[in-house]
Amino acid sequence: MLENAVFLELKRHGEEVYYSKGKNECDFLIKKEGQISEALQVCYELTKGNKEREINGFVEAMEKFKAKKGTILTLNQKEKIHAGTAEIDAVPVWEWALNGKAEV
Could you read off the pLDDT of 72-91 as tens digits, one per residue?
A: 999 999 999 887 777 889 99
35-48 average pLDDT score: 92
Cα–Cα distance, 35 to 52 (Å, whole number):
26
Q: Over 15-38, what HEC string results?
A: CEEEEEECCCEEEEEEEECCEEEE
Q: What is the pTM of this model?
A: 0.86
